[in-house]
Chain A
Amino acid sequence: MPQIGIFIDALQGSIPASFREKISDYVKKLPGIAFCIEEENLASSEALNRMGKRLEAGGLDGVVIMGGSPKLYEASFQKLRHPLPFNPYLFAVANIREQALWMMVEEEAALERAKTIISKTIRAVSNSKPIETQSLPLKPEVLILGGGVTGISIAQELAKSGLHIFLLEKGNHLGGKALELHKFYNRPLEVQKWMDEKISEVKNNPQITLFTHTELKRLDGHLGRFQAKIQGPDRTETVLSVSAIVVATGYAAKRETKGIYSHKRVTVFPEMEKLLSETKGPSLLWDGKKVEMVTYFLDGVNEDIKVDSINAVKQALLLQEAFQCQVAILCKDMKVAADGMERLYRKAREKGVLFFKYEEPPKLSIVNGQIQVDVRDTAAIQKKEQWPVSILSDLVVVGEAFVPAPETESLSGLLKIHLGNRGFLMEDNPQLLRVRSNRRGIFVAGACRFPQEVSESLIEARAAAQEVMALLSKGTYIYDLAVAEVDPKKCAVCYTCPRLCPHSAITVEKYGERNVYIISGTSQETKWGAAKVDPASCYGCGICVAECPAKAITLRHLTDEQIYAQMGLME
């Protein structure tokens, strides 16, 4: 008969004395109870010390705390973990406050419920086994994919923190899409100068090993032991072993070229930025002709991305102020949800930039070598006043569609991370929080997740650096073996679990040497491999356990028996 110790927590009186007395009377009559102690506030350090002393005496197979939600106590278990020779997984909590006392109308019913909960909990804890803690050494080495502004910034931040960085760029130079920018909307800096400084710092930083013209070809291993095979310019292959990976591969832009969009007087934002940065004179020339009227056509694509709105207003102000152009901006909604944008928008209106908000997309046509843009403004109060406005433009600037970089899909396959919305990396799941991926040790930052403004990317870069540091700064990753475990004898290598594991923590190396198992009790080796859960990458969700057709997987901290005990089926 397992011996169980009981602590009843009054939770500072929120479980009344009369109720506690009845509980304690009930508990004391149960078999296998070593002791039953009442505490006024179990979370207090005095009570925890007393509890510690009592547990040191030993002779217990499990401990049940009767009080509030288990969520309140999990901390206390952790606090006790180190000083006590008592495993935190041998604690169980009977939640008699939230689930009985507070949820039942009559006290009698509450008492009955509490009794059921208690007996279930005792049964569950009697089936518990201690779970050990393990540690995984982590080298301070990180691989960053993508040498755009996000990748560069993460590399700089992490190098400052003393890590060694391998920075991979598939193209022949660093900088990515930020090089297409001329000015920031919110800072007086010249983008090129700022980027040049960053790039030369990265190039000269001994903490950063830079690979240009290089792509990731294969990735093996898990957190702390990633093996990345990379291919350089002359097809040379190198294997890097790193502890963590940050993906910052950016986005691609797709320009519409059909019909009128191929006209030489229709252009896109990067070309406009280039023109603005290169033109010094008092007037702006396009195709040898002075530009006087510029129209921006926004929200044709990227309706939910702020970047085009921001750049349009920023460019419009420059065009009006430096080149005396007349500018019209046509949009569905003006995106001003960025710090300082509303002021910029207001300033543009004051300077005479025209804004039209349309519902039906404007029509573009060629008139005498210029582009005529017809638009109906919905801001007009009377419908009869919504006459179409025709704007004869020297230049029409349209947005390019922001799409995932071409290698995104294959990269998600190599890294075993998920694709989300519109083919960008990672689904939009609030629980993931930004910059995390579905795999422990792999992070996703910047526009490869979703296109965004540079200042937002810089914040993401630092957040990614924080995630990496939180993982690597201690030099080891400490984790409980509260994970799924495959019994290789039962595994039929059906590939169900590696397919379904959301965290890509399961691998099967069918003929790999590492996966040869010796059947316990014999010296016989299994010929086939088996699925293997990497314990440091497993989150302990139990999806694989429930799916395994051969029932070869168990969740160490929640076995079938423990679930049946909770269901009240272990009479």
Chain B
Amino acid sequence: MAEKVDLSSGGEVLIIGGGISGITVALELARSGIPSTLIEREPSLGGLSASFCCKASESCNKCFACVVDKRISEIYQRQDISILTQTEVIGVKGNREKHQVSLKKGKEKIDLKVSAIVIAAGINPFDASQKVEYGYGRFKNVITAKDLDEMLRHRGTISRPSDGKLPKTVAFFQCVGSRDESIGNLYCSQVCCAYALRLIKAVRYQTPEVKATFLYMDIQPAGASFQEFLASCREDKGIRLIRSLPSKVYHSPLSDTLRVRFTDPERGEVVEDSFDLIVLSVGMVLSKEAKRLTELFRLSLTEDGFIASPPTQTGVFVTGACSGPKDIDRSILHAKSAAFLVQQHLSGRF
């Protein structure tokens, strides 16, 4: 769709990254009558959050995945946004109001003149295999929360990768790659507690025979109805919320079950439990692509390793999770505020 771009009307704004943040910026600018060009490295728009499933139980659990789907179909309907997929920025010149950007789409090279650039390059989920002790990549039944999410979106139910059977017991490990000095990520990814609890809720609603154990450090709230949501998780007899991060996962080759040692406050001691499936709540890290863009645009990183926002007069804006961990709700909000800044920047020229 909309692959042919008339470059004379390529718009005044280049948005790098076609995830929910980039999409929102483009849509908001279009609503204000500002045409833009949105580029995405992948063949389709949506980014990370487009692969999420609906995590409703009896009623909506406010995961915002459906909002992303709606925005994607909305953006394909707009005529004032040029969408270039499988496209990368390879060079940039100029500053403030005049930026000359070189793009590469396949073998084709495209030059673009724009007045503002928005970087919404997003994040990558933390590579869980770096936490060797959890066995991701070695044990089939250790998966990431994102893997589970995609499984639910496309197949509708939870199953064990090793034998396709319904797991009776599932453990969710929080803070994998977040709040962890040993890997140098001294920040909270802000979204994973609510994300994992919503996944648990959705799974338990669909298959109540699955019992979940949620192993965490501190539960981080998200949104205006989180308290009620958390209370409903606490009431659920099939969910154990335990403040204890496990140190290691042991694999039983015969049954493909996994043994985990953690502190059980109920029993008041260190226990060893076995689980059919382990889901790792992986945190957010800046993507390699975003790092490359940071260098290309000579931007700096924050202490936590995300892109720091440059002064607005540079005409370069950073939004979404690449500027610091954000859930879908906050990414949309942040993108709206970025769109406003872009609008102010453009009107300042006259």
A79 to B76, CA, bound (A): 12
B255 adjacent to chain A (CB < 8 Å): no
Q: Which of B28, B188, B224, B336 contacts A337 (CB 8 A)?
A: B188
B213 adjacent to chain A (CB < 8 Å): no
A160 adjacent to chain B (CB < 8 Å): yes
State which residues 434-493 of A face B: CB under 8 Å: 434-435, 449-450, 459-463, 465-467, 469-470, 473-474
Q: Which of A162, A463, A465 contacts B333 (CB 8 A)?
A: A463
Nearest CB on B from A431, distance (A): 7
Q: Which of B64, B243, B324, B347 contacts A379 (CB 8 A)?
A: B243
Nearest CB on A from B245, distance (A): 11
Contacts of B79 in A (CB 8 A): 75, 78-79
Q: Which of B67, B263, B333 contacts A430 (CB 8 A)?
A: B67
Nearest CB on B from A58, distance (A): 25
A157 adjacent to chain B (CB < 8 Å): yes
Nearest neighbor of A386 in chain B, beta-carbon distance? B268
A493 to B273, CA, bound (A): 66
Nearest neighbor of B64 in chain A, beta-carbon distance? A430
Chain A interface residue bracket vs B = 35 or more
- Looking at A23-31, A98-106, A328-336, the stretch in contact with chain B turns out to be A328-336
Contact B62 A463 (CB under 8 A): no
A306 to B330, CA, bound (A): 15
Most buried by A among B188, B221, B340, B341: B340
Contact B220 A336 (CB under 8 A): yes
Question: What 0/1 readout, one digit per residue, does chain B (191-210) give for beta carbons within 8 Å of chain A?
Answer: 10100000000000000000
A70 to B139, CA, bound (A): 44
Chain B interface residue bracket vs A = 35 or more
Nearest CB on A from B82, distance (A): 13
Contact A430 B221 (CB under 8 A): no
Residues A304 and B67 in contact in the complex (CB < 8 Å), given A74-B77, A430-B62, A435-B336 = no
Nearest neighbor of B79 in chain A, beta-carbon distance? A79
Contact B333 A383 (CB under 8 A): no
Contact A335 B218 (CB under 8 A): yes
Contacts of A459 in B (CB 8 A): 330, 333-334, 337
A357 to B244, CA, bound (A): 12
A430 to B268, CA, bound (A): 40
Contact A335 B78 (CB under 8 A): no
Contact A339 B329 (CB under 8 A): no
Task: Give the 10 A-B residue pairs with the shortest CB-CB distance, closest first.
Answer: A383-B268, A462-B337, A75-B77, A466-B340, A337-B220, A463-B336, A304-B221, A470-B31, A333-B218, A337-B190
24 CB < 8 A contacts A-B: A161-B347, A304-B227, A305-B221, A306-B221, A337-B191, A337-B193, A337-B222, A339-B304, A342-B187, A343-B187, A343-B304, A357-B243, A382-B268, A382-B269, A383-B265, A420-B224, A429-B60, A430-B63, A430-B66, A430-B67, A434-B329, A450-B224, A466-B339, A474-B33
Chain B residues at the A interface, C-beta cutoff of 8 Å: 1, 4, 28, 31-33, 60, 62-64, 66-67, 70, 73, 76-79, 179, 181, 186-188, 190-191, 193, 218-228, 230, 243, 263, 265, 267-270, 302-304, 324-325, 329-330, 332-334, 336-337, 339-341, 343-344, 347
Chain A residues at the B interface, C-beta cutoff of 8 Å: 43-45, 71-72, 74-75, 78-79, 157, 160-162, 303-306, 333-343, 346, 357, 359, 378-379, 381-384, 386, 420-421, 424, 428-431, 433-435, 449-450, 459-463, 465-467, 469-470, 473-474
